Structure 1
Amino acid sequence: MYIPPHFQIKDNDIANRIMKENSFATVISTKDGLPEATQLPLLLDAENEYLYGHFARPNLQWKNIENGLVLVVFQGPHCYISPSWYETKTAVPTWNYVSVQVTGKAYLINDEQELTSYMRQLVQQYEDIDSTYKLEEVDANYLKGLNKGIQAFKIKINKIEGITKLSQNHSSERQALVIQNLEQKEAENERKIAALMKDNLHKGN
């Protein structure tokens, strides 16, 4: 992953937060020298340095990942930055974005107890706090049948690389102008980048 030094994420807690907030990630592997990719919701176990997920069984990418290295891309908010916002003619267009990439070794999960634990945690992560849905209350035979249609896996994290490109290479005055313009946009990505830039600027980064 190409990361200019002033954009590099050096704090794993920040990288973990980005992964959790943008957990619908892209899992990339290779088969016969060709890349394969699938977008999947992933569960991060930061303490033990694992990512958990599952493929639909008809998606045969799962057959090619066992004991192999995979790349996982977590794409955060991103948006176009117009040079017109800098109030100068000596600038060019660019793109601000947040992204984390993870490399690690993949293992298939075939143990029923481990699968059940993963599925419960996954549901807990995405269900609202006050949700009445509980996976343990689903009919066991029904759930067992559904589980036959998936292949769960875990990835032991070997390396985490992250980038927050938020105009840090420009003056605080220019950053403030970018924030001002982004906050006038209606799109969610623009507003999220503005909020991240504002937080970064207040921290003095």
Structure 2
Amino acid sequence: MYIPKYFKIENEEMIYDLIEKYSFATLFSQHKGEPHATHLPLILNKDENALYGHFARANEQWKDIANQQVLVVFQGPHCYISPSWYETTRAVPTWNYVSIHVYGKLEIVQDGKVVFDSLNDMVNKYESPESSYNLHDLEPGFIEGMSKGIVAFKINITKIEAKAKLSQNHPVERQELVIKQLENSSNQDNKQIASLMKKNLLK
């Protein structure tokens, strides 16, 4: 990923937080000699420096993906930045965004306990605290049957590239003008970008 120095995220905790917050990712690999992508939620295991997830078994991308160096893209908030918001009209439009690229070697997981634990971690992440749904309450036979329809995997992370393009290449005064415009928007991506820009200014 092209990352000018002022857009590079180097804070590890911030990177992990973004991966966990925007965890519905795009997984790219080579399949039958061509680029292939699947959109799916992934769980970060910091202790193992790994990502866990699963394919639908009918998705043939898994059949030749083992041991490949794969790319996972986590897309954060993004929005259009209008030059009309600046103090001058001698400017051009741009786009602010946050994106994390994770590279790693993928291995297929077949151990039943590891598969169940990864599924359980995913359910616990996305279910609300008040939810009554719990994988442990389901019959083992039902879980085993449903698990036959998926292919679980683990990605051992080898490299992470993280970028936050938040108008850092513009003067502070201009960044403040952009933040004001974004905060007045009803669009949630705009508001999230404004929040990240404010945090960046307070560093």
Give the TM-score range, shorter chain. Answer: over 0.9
The residue type paired with residue 6 of structure 2 is H
RMSD: 0.9
Distance 2:121 2:44 in 1: 10
Match of 2:147 in 1: 147
SS in 2 for 1:167: coil
Distance 1:172 1:73 in 2: 30
- 1:13-92 aligned at under 5 Å gives the runs 13-92=13-92
The residue type paired with residue 173 of structure 1 is E
Distance 1:154 1:187 in 2: 35
The residue type paired with residue 139 of structure 2 is D
TM-score by length of 2: 0.98
2:163 equivalent to 1:163: yes
The residue type paired with residue 45 of structure 1 is N
The residue type paired with residue 122 of structure 1 is M
Kept in 2: contact 1:100–1:160 (CA 8 A): yes
Q: CA deviation at 1:90?
A: 1.8
Kept in 2: contact 1:29–1:64 (CA 8 A): no
Q: CA deviation at 1:169?
A: 0.6
2:141 equivalent to 1:128: no
The residue type paired with residue 156 of structure 1 is N
Paired positions, count: 203
Distance 2:60 2:187 in 1: 36
Deviation digits for residues 131-185 of structure 1 (CA, Å, limit 9, x no counterpart): 2211100111111111000000000000000000100111111000000101111
Identity %: 51
Distance 1:32 1:111 in 2: 27
SS in 1 for 2:179: helix
Distance 2:79 2:11 in 1: 23
Q: CA deviation at 1:12?
A: 1.4
2:20 equivalent to 1:9: no
Q: CA deviation at 1:125?
A: 0.9
Unaligned stretches of 5+ in structure 1? none
Match of 2:95 in 1: 95
Match of 2:201 in 1: 201
Q: CA deviation at 1:75?
A: 0.2
Match of 2:190 in 1: 190
Kept in 2: contact 1:26–1:72 (CA 8 A): yes
The residue type paired with residue 139 of structure 1 is E
Kept in 2: contact 1:72–1:101 (CA 8 A): yes
Distance 1:97 1:174 in 2: 17
